[in-house]
Amino acid sequence: MHPPNTICERLDDWFVQFKVTASEGSRPALGRLDPVTKEPLFASETKEAVANDKLKAQRLQDPLPLDCMCSVTAPNPNSGHGLPEHLSHRGESNLEAFHLMLAHLSNNGMRETLADDLNPTGTARHNLTIRHKIRLSRTTDENSMRQ
């Protein structure tokens, strides 16, 4: 995550690179008109949107320190690669993982009632798998329930 001043500076650079006209006293415009339609690529609302994004950039920050962003699960002894699995504490990461898994459950050639039954089943299985991974990642030698 970049600091707010870097984000704002990059937003300004991006806007200047593609804007076609410049107000007096502002940075010169580097953009050009669309070669086919002869219209600018930015809509009239783009300047407002960039200003709004620059205000929001002041509030962007990562609340967790780097070492608390994920839990590490030891690799399965049967895995061929022997790499540990990192389970993110971020909701978006889990949501993206779920959407990837959900893509395997969708099949447009089935009855709607069957699809309606499979999707909650897949969701429940995915959530259960995540719960097990979190529980196992918190297991240590002292509180181990595995044998």
The pLDDT, as a whole number, for residue 51 is: 92
Within this chain, do residues 78 and 48 fall inside the same structural domain, yes or no? no
50 and 87: one domain?
Answer: no
Q: Predicted confidence band at 146 (pLDDT cuts at 50, 70, 90)? A: low
Regarding whether 81 and 52 lie in a shared domain, the answer is: no
Q: How far is CA 63 from CA 53, 54, 91, 120, in A?
A: 20, 20, 13, 32
Residue 146 belongs to a domain: no
**Nearest-angstrom CA–CA distance, 18 and 24:** 17
Q: Are residues 74 and 46 in the same domain?
A: no
In a domain, 142, yes or no: no
30: Cα within 13 Å, side-chain hemisphere: 8
Question: Does any domain span residue 123?
Answer: yes
Among the listed ranges 59-68, 69-78, 102-111, which one has the minimum average pLDDT value?
A: 102-111
User: Is position 38 within any domain?
Assistant: yes
Q: Output 110 or 20, whichever has higher pLDDT.
A: 20
49 pLDDT higher than 70: yes
- Pairing type for strands 70-73 and 85-88 reads antiparallel
The last residue of a domain, from among 30, 57, 84: 57
pTM, two decimals, is 0.43
Residue 89 near residue 70, CB atoms below 8 Å: yes
Same domain, residue pair 71 and 109: yes
Co-location of 9 and 43 in the same domain: yes
Complete DSSP assignment for 33-80: --TTT---SS-TTHHHHHHHHHHHHTT----S-GGGSEEEEPPPTT-S
| More confident position, 112 or 49 | 49
Task: Look at residue 145 and tell me if it is in a domain.
Answer: no
Residues 25 and 76 in one domain: no
DSSP state of 87: E
> Per-residue pLDDT averaged across 102-121, rounded?
65
d(CA 84, CA 77): 10
The pLDDT-based confidence of 10 (bands split at 50, 70, 90) is: very high
What domain range is 72 assigned to? Answer: 66-137
Task: Give the chain's domain count.
Answer: 2
Residue 147 lies in a domain: no
**Do 84 and 105 lie in a common domain?**
yes
